């Protein structure tokens, strides 16, 4: 399905709210494909019944990445607290009247912030987005059973890399460093993500769109 059919996507997401319980919509895709923008648009269209809880809130802190020797690979699967992410998804989908607080990744700090997102009882739909929602690696494969619908955001590789370089530059990277990052660790992560696109419930084609991640 093309992103131009956005109203159809919104109705598909809205239908999850009729399951009689809190539903979780996952939006996956490689770095720079536009999944964050799509997720935010869907949440905005659904209004107060929906909340966005990105996977990126479970990035390990920079000091911990340095301690583990993984700082140069930030964004790889083993640089996230996948067990914590799984636990949050289980907690959010367990019936109850309490607010559940989720972390948020702040790009301007390049760090996760705990307790930044409130998931209230009135939120019947949670949208979560991230690179590895379809991953079958250790720890990650359990995610799929917790997601009611998973969309994969596809974008032409030339445009995806261009957007990714521009994003790195917008957060202060030099053109050389931005390109090195986009074509290095980001590209390795993207290859892993692309390999699992077949397991999505829906492919959203963003070619020709202006949206960015």
CATH of the domain at 17: 3.40.50.300
Specify if 162 maps to a domain: yes
- Alpha-carbon torsion angle 206, 89, 82, 87, nearest 10: 180
- Give pLDDT, residue 64: 96
Specify if 88 maps to a domain: yes
* Exposed/middle/buried for residue 74 (C-beta within 10 Å: 0-12, 13-18, 19+): middle
Specify if 210 maps to a domain: no
134-192-68 Cα angle (round to 5): 100
φ/ψ (deg, to 5) at 35: -65, -35
CB neighbours (10 Å) of residue 3?
Answer: 21
Query: Across the chain, which distance is largest between two alpha carbons, in Å?
Result: 51
Structural domain of 43: 3-205
Tens of pLDDT along the chain (213 residues) come to 777 699 999 999 999 999 889 999 999 999 999 999 999 999 999 999 999 999 999 999 999 999 999 998 889 999 999 999 999 999 999 988 899 999 999 988 889 999 999 999 999 999 999 999 999 999 999 999 999 999 999 999 889 888 888 887 887 778 878 787 767 788 889 999 999 999 999 999 987 555 444
- Give pLDDT, residue 209: 58
Specify if 14 maps to a domain: yes
Specify if 113 maps to a domain: yes
Reference 199, options 160, 143, 144; nearest CA is: 144
Specify if 211 maps to a domain: no
Specify if 86 maps to a domain: yes
User: 185, 74 in Cβ contact below 8 A?
Assistant: yes
Specify if 49 maps to a domain: yes
Q: Both tokens of residue 165? A: 């370089």
- Give pLDDT, residue 165: 85
- Give pLDDT, residue 212: 40
- Give pLDDT, residue 144: 93
User: 167, 43 in Cβ contact below 8 A?
Assistant: no
- Give pLDDT, residue 208: 58
Q: Where are the beta strands (DSSP E) in the chain?
A: 23-28, 50-52, 100-106, 111-119, 125-130, 149-154, 202-205
């Amino acid at each position: 399905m093309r992103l131009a059919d956005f109203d159809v996507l919104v109705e598909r997401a809205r239908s999850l709210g009729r399951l009689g319980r809190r539903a979780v919509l996952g939006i996956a895709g490689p770095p720079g494909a536009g999944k964050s923008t799509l997720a935010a648009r869907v949440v905005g269209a659904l209004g107060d019944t929906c909340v966005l809880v990105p996977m990126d809130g479970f990035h390990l802190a920079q000091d911990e990445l340095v301690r583990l020797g993984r700082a140069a690979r930030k964004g790889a699967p083993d640089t996230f607290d996948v067990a914590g992410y799984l636990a949050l998804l289980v907690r959010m989908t367990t019936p109850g009247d309490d607010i559940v607080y989720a972390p948020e990744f702040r790009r301007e700090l390049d760090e996760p912030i705990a307790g930044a997102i409130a998931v209230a009882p009135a939120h019947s739909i949670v949208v979560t987005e991230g690179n590895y929602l379809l991953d079958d690696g250790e720890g990650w494969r359990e995610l799929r059973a917790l997601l009611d619908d998973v969309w994969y955001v596809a974008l032409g590789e030339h445009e995806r890399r261009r957007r990714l370089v521009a994003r790195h530059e917008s957060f202060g990277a030099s053109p050389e460093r931005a390109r090195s990052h986009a074509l290095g660790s980001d590209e390795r992560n993207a290859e892993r993500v692309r390999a699992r696109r077949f397991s999505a419930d829906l492919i959203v084609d963003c070619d020709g769109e202006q949206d960015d991640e």
